[in-house]
Chain A
């Protein structure tokens, strides 16, 4: 046999990585073939780009760039005013600045909430599903309690108790959103662990931890990825709702706060101060929902053959 046909260890790693990457790319390609998903991805890329480039796009406010700058000489300016492309608020805040830095706030909010809740939910749900028995019973009882209260009301109650601040909104949302992941992953784990490959791994003598990490988790996780994508949008929507009713600090460069503070002017014809940020919230939630749905179609376990 030719020596060239025997790749070295490094070669094996590289090849395996290449195969996995190709598979990942093919999923990506399939997702993007759907025009609505593509639209969603485009919006997300634009918004995330805006968030990352915020300091380049606008002069950061000092000392705190996440506070709205105030131009006392330009209150309630309509869109198109020089230096204030999308107009200003009743406090002289530049709406465009609020939108650009607000995208940072939104991205931060959704990333923190989703990653924390996915982590908690996956840990709780997989412990319950994988270990079963008593552990399962106790954990799921707790989950049921959380589930029995409507999301928004629960988040509202927590935020209200903790007091108005953006950090507390993050906490409130995290307290609400982890439950869903726990439920999803538990159901998946219970289903996946019945597969013969799990028993085959047991017969080989592999450890429970290895079986969980190699066999159960990777085959249980896709619905979580879909839900997480959807929640990247939902978190911002509910977060905005909480800010809107005044649970965030006033003056924060955040879309919900802007909508809330701008709504007073709508009846006076000053539509821009709340419409533009409101549109952003809408677009953000829409985009992630489009991508989430697209992912679900491609990753649906019933149609998935990867």
Chain B
């Protein structure tokens, strides 16, 4: 009988707890106008986002269209350089703690040593700063599957070339070995050898998405960004792809960032949830916390909007009304205050809200000559004549104007045909941990700048 030789003691590779660390990430797109293409503003697609993705888990990102989910994913994939802040990949546990300490303080408060330390972390882990071997390693380990199964496969390449390409780029295999590995990859996504010599157009949407997944798996990555991977598919096919993704995750110990606007799908897939609204995170927590006891009215409204998930039918939050605000001019205070069903006077009412409200009432804005702003919260509205100015003041003071807005208005005076309007100055809201590992930015929970009387007002109004 043979003795089993003792295994040589191999160092067990230390796996870091956090795979992706997003800190204060901003990505603005310049808006250009005119013949000279001058920059007249910025679309703040992602505007100060921080969260972690831990090894082995799936973080779901939800939010309506235009909230910056794809932009966030593209920054993580290194396809877009950040405007500010950054995405860090595979930080060691100590490094993660150091980064947290360093990024928590304002940059001018850092000592010279601290700045140097941050610079070192940036150079070794921030994805837009990586070079050489570190860059290659990041590239191999951070892959992507896009939503559009038709645009994500080169129509002029055979499947064998599409799936084998990553292996060729890193010279991992060639010749028949390459082909066998491609076959293995195809088999792992439910396709096979018979599909090697076909063009993408010969496949259905679901099969094409499987090819994309096989390509993403080719380098045996740690992490995959799944940007609405099933949104374009039929419901029955959707379920198959989701199950495939779950199986692959289990077999290969993958970590996912799962982007979707479909809450049902996100709940099926995710361990933790990040809710985005106009470029910001408004709530984040474990799946069960976010779905069973949501904190932010936006999350509640999203849940309400998907009937099979609405858990509490007599909740006051109605279906989501209105549209996502223009991310080039995001609302002050809480960005959700333009649509929030439980809005308070402390949530950031501003001049734009008053103008929009007057517009909505058809209140003769043809007679509005101009708006002279001193800040987002303070402006002079000049009208054609005194009569209209007087009318506007009456509307703004009267019952047509929501009580919360009236309450937030701390100045409303008319002199001649000009109406001076002033709202409370409200800071931008910040995320706060309300329950363990469950954060939100809604001031009803954080209490930031919330006037005690306002809370009372909300309750009085039936909250």
Residue numbers of A with Cβ under 8 A of B are 5-6, 8-9, 12, 15-16, 19, 23, 195-197, 199-206, 210, 214-215, 218-219, 305-306
Contacts and interface: CB of A to CB of B under 8 A. Distances in A.
Q: Is the interface of A mostly helix, strand, loop or mixed?
A: helix
Nearest to B198: A19
Nearest to A194: B151
Given A9-B175, A196-B148, A218-B156, A306 B169 contact: no
Interface in B34-67: none
B146 to A, nearest CB: 4
Nearest to B79: A199
B79 A204 contact: no
A282 to B, nearest CB: 37
A210 B112 CA distance: 42
Nearest to B218: A204
Contacts of A197: 151-154
B158 A200 contact: no
B136 A200 contact: no
B181 to A, nearest CB: 13
Contact of B144 (A16, A199, A215, A219): A199
- Which one of B135, B154, B157, B193 has the greatest number of beta carbons of chain A within 10 Å? B154
B176 A9 contact: yes
Residue from the set A196, A203, A210, A305 with the largest chain B CB neighbour count within 10 Å: A203
Contact of A306 (B144, B176, B199): B199
B458 interface: no
A214 B79 contact: no
Q: Using C-beta atoms within 8 Å of the partner chain, give the interface range for chain B.
A: 35 or more
A155 to B, nearest CB: 32
A196 B201 CA distance: 15
Interface string B128-149: 0000000110011011101010
B267 interface: no
A19 B195 CA distance: 12
Nearest to B78: A203
Contact of A16 (B135, B146, B160): B160
A204 B337 CA distance: 41
27 contacts: A5-B193, A6-B176, A8-B176, A9-B175, A15-B197, A19-B158, A19-B197, A19-B198, A195-B151, A196-B151, A196-B152, A197-B152, A197-B154, A199-B74, A199-B144, A200-B152, A203-B79, A203-B142, A203-B143, A204-B143, A204-B166, A205-B139, A205-B140, A206-B165, A214-B154, A219-B155, A219-B156
A200 B165 CA distance: 11
Contacts of B142: 203
Contact of A196 (B146, B175, B193): B146
B77 A203 contact: yes
Given A200-B215, A203-B79, A204-B143, 10 more contacts: A12-B176, A19-B197, A23-B199, A197-B152, A200-B146, A203-B143, A204-B165, A205-B170, A206-B169, A219-B154
Interface in B179-208: 179-180, 193, 197-199, 201
Contact of B158 (A16, A202, A205): A16
Contacts of A196: 146, 148, 151-152
B197 A215 contact: no
A305 B136 CA distance: 34
B255 interface: no
Nearest to A15: B197
A305 B153 CA distance: 13
B146 A204 contact: no
Contacts of A206: 165, 169
A199 B146 contact: yes
B71 interface: no
A144 B17 CA distance: 56
A110 to B, nearest CB: 27
